[in-house]
Homo-oligomer: A and B are copies of this chain.
Amino acid sequence: MDTNISSFKGETGVDARRRIRNGGSNLAPTSGMAPGFVQGNLAILPKALAADFARFCQLNPKPCPLLASSEPGDWRLPTLGEDLDIRTDIPLYRVWKNGELVEEVRDLKKVWRDDLVSFVLGCSFSFEEALVEAGLEIRHQTQNVNVPMYRTNVQCKPSGPFHGAMVVSMRPFKPADAIRAVQVTTRFPSVHGAPVHLGKPELIGIKDIAKPDYGDSVTVKDDEFPVFWACGVTPQSVVATAKPEFCITHAPGYMLITDLLNSQLAVL
């Protein structure tokens, strides 16, 4: 997605956040920024909904791997980064009211409330880095498109108003590479972990692999399987369905860059 990746070589998480915070007109998706550092999905909810959402994440760790949550009203997330301000450190935010997108904003200073709780969830960028380091081809990277994502018929475990189907992302692999991909991503449970399904898309309610519900279609060759991972679009879809009176998310592709290294997330 980014056309100027080489310029981010050596950039750290805190470097990237400060650059974004002072970014002015250079709005760009965060893919490729601060190479090696963990990027995360953001959901900000009023405290009245925070306990239910925290439990939703705990019940559904594969689609909703919780990396950190804040104190109510506190814009800091000290376990994720030095000098991190969740109101300013993401390039583009979406503000939702009663389930409707009302605006996209470059910072949250005007919409901040003292009852807001921030949730940062792991994202697939981290395990994709590990797959590439293992010598595997990530098809949507090769084809230079967004990862294909699909709504499934697999229901998340509900918590309060939060309920809905799991969304999955798909990467095609030959059988031996699919086995290797299971091994590699198993090491990263806090960023979706091992696949939830492979082959036989109809068994999880996917009717046409060529028609993803989000992102772009990629080629699946005759000697390959589609391999499916739980996807961070799930909590966004679930939050939209719950229609909270107020909610903030990152805009798709514009993630929170943390001070954690992807390699630190490996449990083995």
Binding site for B on A (CB under 8 A): 174-176, 178-179, 182-183, 186, 194-200, 203, 223, 225, 268
Contacts and interface: CB of A to CB of B under 8 A. Distances in A.
Contacts of A186: 183, 186
A175 B197 contact: yes
Contacts of A197: 175-176, 179
Contact of A196 (B176, B195, B198, B223): B176
A40 to B, nearest CB: 24
Contact of A194 (B179, B200, B203): B179
A225 B182 CA distance: 16
Task: Indicate how many identical chains form the complex.
Answer: 2
A268 B268 CA distance: 8
- List 9 tightest A-B contacts by C-beta distance, closest first: A182-B182, A175-B197, A175-B198, A183-B186, A199-B199, A179-B182, A179-B195, A179-B194, A203-B223
Contact of A203 (B175, B182, B198): B175
A259 B240 CA distance: 58
Contact of A225 (B194, B195, B199, B268): B199
Nearest to A196: B176
15 contacts: A174-B203, A175-B197, A175-B200, A176-B196, A179-B182, A179-B195, A179-B196, A179-B198, A182-B183, A183-B183, A183-B186, A183-B194, A200-B223, A200-B225, A268-B268
A176 B198 CA distance: 8
A174 B179 CA distance: 15
A198 B195 CA distance: 15
Contacts of A176: 196-197
A121 to B, nearest CB: 21
A156 to B, nearest CB: 15
